[in-house]
Structure 1
Amino acid sequence: MPRIRTDNPVVINDPQAIRALAHEARLEALEELFASQSSRTATELASRCKLTPSAMSYHLRALEKYGYVERAASEGDARERRWKAAGDRLIVESFNQTPSAKSAFLNVQLGAFRERLAAEIARREAEAKSGIEPPADRAPVLTTGMVFLNDEKRQEFMTRVYDLMKEYEEMAGPEERSVDAKRVYYMLSILPEFDEVEATSGEQPWTRPGLPKR
């Protein structure tokens, strides 16, 4: 049964709250909670973030302070606290404020994805050395490109891409969002070209709010 997204975003526009995201483990935990829309214990999140449960609890309390996460109802063993996302999506709106907070946030996001790319490259190299044939339809590790679009087509392109991601996000049921579920990570950045006049006018590239920022 697909998950129906409600209109309950967590909007972050406080520079201090954004600076609190400048930690890889916190971003990993947030990504897990917002994407799964399920509760997790500190131990479960610690396993994914390669931390001790006590260290993960510390980061979760910090995220709670800024309204990113909240306590969840107990399941089974009530001795360990459960956590959940404070909404169904995360929107960061402070890109016109405090360059240091913005840079720290983006650097952690890009650094985390760079590590995932490096790990995937290493895995494929190890398979090749072992003589394992890759699948014929295996996607490239990273794809970049450029398309020529006027304003109308650019809007259509971005809408269709985000709609496709939303469709697959909402397709998975509770079992497919479990702690042991298979995950596929993506990072998307659509950057229109602006001339110098547009760049200095304060006009911002169109973005569709609501997708978790990684």
Structure 2
Amino acid sequence: MSIVARSKSDNPVVINDPQAIRALAHEARLEALEELFASQSSRTATELASRCKLTPSAMSYHLRALEKYGYVERAASEGDARERRWKAAGDRLIVESFNQAPSAKGAFLNVQLGAFRDRLAVEIARREAEAKAGIEPPEDRAPVLTTGMVFLNDDQREEFMTRVYDLMREYEAMAGPEERSVDAKRVYYMLSILPEFEESEDAAGDQPWTRPGLPKR
């Protein structure tokens, strides 16, 4: 898992404790982490609550839980000092040793995939409503979901991954403070590049996981 906005300094938060991984198995916590790590800006509990559809008090509870496991930390006050601000504890988040916590892994995957499935459903419903209203879609509109398979040797696979991730880094680097604000337009993506392995080769399963965007480099 890697929730990323890359900066020139590389300051990853590495998590390998099963309890800390299990703490991620909540949709609002994942969304708050995504916001903080991707924006690399501070947010109040009220700002995050509005994005996560929670009350500020409930969001504060989740932020304190994330702070306990080292995901987030308190930030300097801005303007009204009465409301606490929060920020990501680093510039990217890496979950390691996933194979040592199968139940935590399953809970985390279910929440993460469920959240993305909900976003897909909302987008499908929006497009269907536009079609019923007679609104013509743009010719270059991307499909809601694209899956596929390519045939690559080891060198080609490495090049493919590098080019895809470099493109994401390029666009992440374009975003300034205004583009990373609470009210900025967001585009969500989920990327999974899975090489084919025989079951015996995959048994070890000891590679770190990354989300959503960049892998451990």
TM-score bucket of the superposed structures, by smaller chain: over 0.9
SS in 2 for 1:170: helix
Pair 1:152 & 2:152 matched? no
Contact 1:21–1:27 (Cα < 8 Å) also in 2: yes
Pair 1:174 & 2:177 matched? yes
Looking at structure 2, the residues matched to 42 and 94 of structure 1 have their Cα atoms a distance apart, in angstroms, of: 30
Pair 1:24 & 2:32 matched? no
Pair 1:95 & 2:101 matched? no
Corresponding residue of 2:192: 189
Measured after TM superposition, the shift of residue 205 of structure 1 is 6.6
Segment of structure 1 superposing worse, 106-115 or 92-101: 92-101
Contact 2:46–2:55 (Cα < 8 Å) also in 1: yes
Corresponding residue of 1:68: 71
SS in 1 for 2:104: helix
Q: Which segments of 5 or more consecutive residues in structure 2 lack a partner in the other structure?
A: none
Structure 1 segment 1-214 matched on structure 2, within 5 A = 4-200=7-203, 202=204, 211=213
Looking at structure 2, the residues matched to 178 and 88 of structure 1 have their Cα atoms a distance apart, in angstroms, of: 17
The residue identity in structure 2 corresponding to 1:91 is I
Measured after TM superposition, the shift of residue 41 of structure 1 is 0.3
Provide closer, same or farther for how the CA distance between residues 22 and 3 of structure 1 changes in structure 2, counting only shifts above 3 A. Answer: closer
Provide closer, same or farther for how the CA distance between residues 209 and 151 of structure 1 changes in structure 2, counting only shifts above 3 A. Answer: farther
The residue identity in structure 2 corresponding to 1:41 is T
The residue identity in structure 1 corresponding to 2:38 is A
Measured after TM superposition, the shift of residue 6 of structure 1 is 1.6
Contact 2:165–2:214 (Cα < 8 Å) also in 1: no
Contact 1:35–1:212 (Cα < 8 Å) also in 2: no
TM-score under structure 1 length normalisation: 0.93
The residue identity in structure 2 corresponding to 1:105 is F
- Give a deviation string over 1:61-117, Cα, whole Å, max 9, x none: 000000000000000000100000000001011222110001111111000000000
Looking at structure 2, the residues matched to 51 and 110 of structure 1 have their Cα atoms a distance apart, in angstroms, of: 20
- Give a deviation string over 1:148-170, Cα, whole Å, max 9, x none: 00111111111111111111112
Aligned residues: 211
Segment of structure 1 superposing worse, 153-162 or 138-147: 153-162
SS in 2 for 1:177: coil
TM-score under structure 2 length normalisation: 0.92
